[in-house]
Amino acid sequence: MKIASILCLFGIIGNLSGYAQELKVVNYQDGDQKLQGLVSANAAKGKSGVLILPAWKGIDQEAKTAALALEKEGYISFIADIYGVGNTPESNQEAAALSSKYKVDYQLYQNRIKAGIAALKAQGADKIAVIGYCFGGTGALETARAGLPVLGVVCIHGGLAKAADRPHTAIHAKVLVEHPAADASVKKEHYDALVQELDEGKADWQIITYAHAKHTFTNPESADYNELMAKRAWNHTLLFLAELLK
């Protein structure tokens, strides 16, 4: 699906040349690793911010479209760079290997998210929430698990599994999980374990399950795309963010 159709999903109207100028590059770092995120062009101090964690191939069109849509809602939106400059995967195989590394080394993933939060704060955001797609949805949950300074997280068709030997901790951020009912990548035991983890962590949580939806149901460029359920999921995201940030 082309960019115009993707923009249409989020209600973004305008010419595509203007679209390309809506996001600005922000250089930041995690230790020695150079990172390069994107921030909404009209960022202003004193606004609430949303950190976007992209899917397994890094900063992609779905993340950019979400950033523009969130800017329209009045938020500073910042797309985090998890892998770092020079490490963008070129194929699904490379993306699977690289994302798996961060899922196993979850503390590295949490640190990269922490760096993104700091970069968003440097843009003037006062209150922050996190949303993530797929691999980024896993990152949203890791944000909550790490107790990072955000008000809430949205996991959008993310992986729900956590290593069995990791202890449960208190979860202070509010949690919204947007789960496609036909997601073959999520096992029932992972779903059940997440519910137990959130309950034991005394989290304010909710899981919304979308009927007839496969894994990447929100992405118009995916064969799994489900337009109706994607629109519902986006509206649920906006409602959740408004409760947290407005």
pLDDT at res. 67 = 97
pLDDT in tens, 225-237: 999 999 999 999 9
- Which whole number is the average pLDDT over 12-17? 38
- Which whole number is the average pLDDT over 93-118? 97
pLDDT band at 216 (very low <50, low <70, confident <90, very high): very high
Between 15 and 149, where is the model more confident? 149
pLDDT at res. 21 = 45
CATH number, domain with residue 70: 3.40.50.1820
Tell me the residue range of the domain where 147 lies.
Answer: 3-245
- The number of distinct structural domains making up the chain is 1
**Residue 11, pLDDT above cutoff 90:** no
- Which whole number is the average pLDDT over 178-182? 98
Q: How far, in Å, CA of 56 to CA of 95, rounded?
A: 5
pLDDT in tens, 48-75: 999 999 999 999 999 999 999 999 999 9
**Residue 110, pLDDT above cutoff 50:** yes
**Residue 19, pLDDT above cutoff 50:** no
- The verdict on pTM exceeding 0.95 is no
- Which whole number is the average pLDDT over 138-159? 98
Question: What share of the chain in percent tops pLDDT 70?
Answer: 90
pLDDT band at 43 (very low <50, low <70, confident <90, very high): low
- Which whole number is the average pLDDT over 115-141? 97
- Which whole number is the average pLDDT over 220-246? 97
The amino acid present at 239, given as its one-letter code, is: L
